[in-house]
Amino acid sequence: MKILVTGGAGFIGSHTVVELLQSGYEVVVVDNLSIGKREAVDAACKIAGKEAEFIHLDLTDEQATISIIGKIKPDAVIHFAAYKSVPESLSEPLTYYRNNMISGINILQAMYKSSCKTMIFSSSATVYGENPNIPFDEDTPLNPVSPYGRTKSHYEAVLHDFCIAHKDFTAIALRYFNPVGAHESGFLGEDPLGVPGNLLPYVTQVAIGRREKVFVYGNDYDTPDGTGIRDYLHVTDLALGHLAALDWATDNQGFEVFNLGRGEGASVLQILRSVEKACGRKLPYEIVSRRPGDVPASVCKAEKAATVLGWKAKMNIDKICQDAWNWQKINPEGFNPHYAVDGLPSTLTAQNGFKEK
Ligand code: WQD
Q: Which residues of 185-211 are buried (b: 16+ CB within 10 A; e: fewer)?
A: ebbbbbbeeeebebbbbbbbbbbbbbb
Spatial distance between the Cα atoms of 77 and 97, rounded to a whole number of angstroms: 21
Cα–ligand 1 centroid distance for 199 (angstroms): 6
Q: How confident is the model at residue 337 (pLDDT cuts 50, 70, 90)?
A: low
pLDDT, average across residues 276-288: 98
Per-residue model confidence (pLDDT) at position 292: 82
Question: Bridge partners of 76?
Answer: 3
Res. 15 pLDDT band, cuts 50 70 90:
very high
The per-residue pLDDT for 132 is: 86
- CA–centroid distance, 230 to ligand 1, in Å, is 8
The partner residues of 298 in beta bridges, in order of sequence, read: 230
* Ligand 1 within 6 A of CB of 198: yes
User: Which domains does the chain carry?
Assistant: 2-356 (3.40.50.720)
What is the 207 CA–ligand 1 centroid distance (Å)?
Answer: 18
Q: What is the mean pLDDT of residues 258-263?
A: 98
Decide: 266 in ligand 1 pocket, CB within 6 A: no
Beta carbons of 4 and 78 less than 8 angstroms apart: yes
CA of 116 to the centre of ligand 1 (A): 35
**pTM of structure:** 0.93
Which residue, by CA, sits nearest to atom 22 of ligand 1? 126
To test the pocket of ligand 1, the residue of 86, 195, 220 to mutate (highest count of ligand atoms within 8 Å of its CB) is 86
Average pLDDT, the chain: 93
Q: Is the CB of 216 inside a 6 Å radius of any atom of ligand 1?
A: yes
Closest ligand 1 atom to 202 CA: 31
Is residue 289 over pLDDT 50? Answer: yes
Give the model confidence (pLDDT) of 59-74 as tens digits. Answer: 999 999 999 999 999 9
Among 236, 230, 240, residue whose Cα is nearest residue 178:
230
At residue 353 the predicted structure's pLDDT band, cuts being 50, 70 and 90, is very low
Residue type, 312: K
Which residue, by CA, sits nearest to atom 17 of ligand 1? Answer: 199
Question: Quick one: CA dihedral 283, 284, 289, 293, positive or negative?
Answer: negative
Annotated catalytic sites, by residue? Answer: 148
CB 295, CB 149: distance < 8 Å: no
Instruction: Establish whether residue 285 lines the binding site of ligand 1, counting it when its CB lies within 6 angstroms of any ligand atom.
Output: no
Q: How far is the CA of 196 from the centre of ligand 1 (A)?
A: 10
Residue 261 — very low, low, confident or very high, per pLDDT cuts 50/70/90? very high
Q: Distance (Å, rounded) from C-alpha 296 to C-alpha 280? A: 29
